Structure formats: C-alpha cells, structure tokens
Amino acid sequence: MGLHVAPTGPECPPIIEFRNVEKRYGPITVLDQLTFSVKPGEHLALIGPSGSGKTTILRILMTLESVTGGEVIVNGVTLNREHKNGSDVPASEAHLRKMRADFGMVFQHFNLFPHMTALQNVALAPVLTGLLSKAEAKERALQLLEKVGLADKAEQYPSRLSGGQKQRVAIARALALQPKILLLDEITSALDPELVEEVLNVISNLRDETDMTMLLVTHEMGFAKDFADRVLFFERGKIVEEGPPTEIFQSPHHERTKSFLRKVIAAGHRI
C-alpha cells in the first residue's frame, strides 16, 4: 500500500468541505443537502449507481458547475461565494479561476485536443495561464509524459494512440498545473479491458508517490479497495454509507449498498 498515510485527527483541517450542498436542475434534485469533508492527502473512492450525483460533485469542484444551495469550501476558502464590498455574493469568474488552480481532472472520454500532439496537449495549460514559458512547459510536459510511461509518444497525435495511451496523456495533462487535488471520473470506463491496467498502474503510482488528495469515481471495485482510504456510497445525491474499503466492500451495513455491490459483481466487475 501507499507510502503516504492520510493525516487524521481533529488537528487536521479538511482540504475539501461540502456543507449542505444542493444542486437542482429545475424540479430535479441531483445533490440533496450533501455534507462531507476530505482530509489533505486522503484518497477517496466515490461509488454508486448511475445518476447518483458523483460526476456532479467533481464538476462542482472543477468549477464547471454551480450549486443551487450550501457551501463548498476548499483549503478554508469558500469556492462558490465570495465577499465583495462587505456582502456575500455568488463567486465571480475571477474567483472561480483562482479556486480552479488547485484541481486537475481526468474524464471518462479523455477530451484531448485532436489537432495537438501529446506533448502540446500537456504543455498547453501552463503556457495559457502564464505559469511557464513555452520552453519550460515543454520540459515539464516531457517529464510528465515520462512519468506516465509515454516519453516516446510525445510527438504523436491522439489519433495514433491507443485508448490507454490517450488516457495516460490526459492524466499527464491534468498534472501539468501541479494540482493539490486530482479528480478522476470513471477514467477506465471507455477502455478495452486489456488497457485498463496500464491506466490504473499510473494512478497507483501517483497515489503512492505524491501527496495529492485524490477523488476517484469508479466501477472498478477491486481497484477502489486497494486505492481508497475511505469509500463513499452515493444514491440520489446523498451518502448512504461511508467507511474504509474493507468495511464497505466486505461488510456493508445498508441493504442499498449490498444490492448495488451485487449488481456491480453481476456486471462482471471484481471486488
């Protein structure tokens, strides 16, 4: 297991806090007064049926989605609201951009820019944000591609890469701005089974070799068991049950959790 042990105890303030967060689309409530927190360096697995709100949670943190109620706090700073001229107002684009800097996200469908090489995909954000010069960004991109085992593919366009290679480029790209928190949304779901392991190996290495906080949405329960310090089981925008992976996977308390895990196993996933 990992070299990094998630800090515990009351002395350690959370890096992420959801306080009574509500997300509605018209009459549909997607997140229902959701409250939870994540400690710095913690590795969290988010599991639950399709539509339970897992992607929405990651998209809210990535500032791709707003909330309709409650507060999201990152590193002690409210993400979705700010103080301006003495009053509490919805966050401005400038505030959201600042908050976004702590996060990197990897999506199910890679979302690489097809007209850019692997290297250009990884080097883009540090140049666009003015963080690095072109030469520095190129050097960092090469290091990151090496880290994900793709140094030899730097000059390839995505169309020439396998799904597993594309996803590893996407991971390198998510790391380019040196995020404190990495968000991973079903990153192996679109891959052929034989390509899943190379991607999960990269995630295992990041887990063991960095102190990033990581939130992983997955149906790979076997992997979640090794990866996670804590598992949250969601249903209809609420946490039904949470605990260490041994407890959630081996002796879940709630009937809903049990029946979900039975379905996942029936669908051919290992636990």
Contacts with Mg ion, residue ranges (CB under 5 A): 55
Question: From the CB of 186, what's the least distance to ligand ADP, in Å?
Answer: 8
User: In terms of CB distance, is 55 or 213 closer to Mg ion?
Assistant: 55
Interface with ligand ADP in residues 228-267 (CB under 6 A): none
- How big is the site for ligand ADP, counted in residues (CB under 6 A)? 11
Q: Cβ closer to ligand ADP: 40 or 51?
A: 51
- Of 30, 62, 148, 161, which one interacts with ligand ADP (CB under 6 A)? 30
Residue whose C-alpha is closest to residue 142's, from 152, 157, 132: 152
Can you give the three-state secondary structure of the chain, one letter per residue? Answer: CCCCCCCCCCCCCCCEEEEEEEEEECCEEEEEEEEEEECCCCEEEEECCCCCCHHHHHHHHCCCCCCCEEEEEECCEECCEEEECCEEEECCHHHHHHHHCCEEEECCCCCCCCCCCHHHHHHHHHHHCCCCCHHHHHHHHHHHHHHCCCHHHCCCCHHHCCHHHHHHHHHHHHHCCCCCEEEEECCCCCCCHHHHHHHHHHHHHHHHHCCCEEEEECCCHHHHHHHCCEEEEEECCEEEEEECHHHHHHCCCCHHHHHHHHHHHHCCCCC
* Closest CB to Mg ion among residues 23, 153: 23
Q: Quote the least distance from Cβ 186 to Mg ion, whole Å.
A: 6
The stretch among 23-31, 103-111, 143-151, 202-210 that binds ligand ADP (CB under 6 A) is 23-31
Contact between 159 and ligand ADP per CB under 6 A: no
First to last CA, the chain: 17
3 binds, among Mg ion, ligand ADP, none (CB under 5 to 8 A by kind): none
CB of 23 to ligand ADP, least distance (A): 8
CA distance to 5, 175, 219, per residue, from 210 (Å): 11, 11, 24
Kindly give the interhelix angle for 134-147 and 163-175, rounded to the nearest 10 degrees: 130
Instruction: Find the shortest distance in angstroms from Cβ 114 to Mg ion.
Output: 23
Closest to ligand ADP by CB, 108 vs 178, is 108
Choose from ligand ADP, Mg ion, none: what does 25 bind? Cβ within 5-8 Å by kind.
Answer: ligand ADP
* Least distance to ligand ADP, CB of residue 221, Å: 15
Site map for ligand ADP, 42-81, x if CB under 6 A? ------x-xxxxxxx-------------------------
Q: CB of 58: closest distance to ligand ADP in angstroms? A: 8
Residue among 57 and 176 whose Cβ is closer to Mg ion: 57
Which structure tokens are listed for 225?
């068991």
Nearer of residues 52 and 213 to ligand ADP, judged by Cβ: 52
Is 188 among the residues that bind ligand ADP (CB under 6 A)? no
Binding footprint of ligand ADP on the chain (CB under 6 A): 25, 28, 30, 48, 50-56
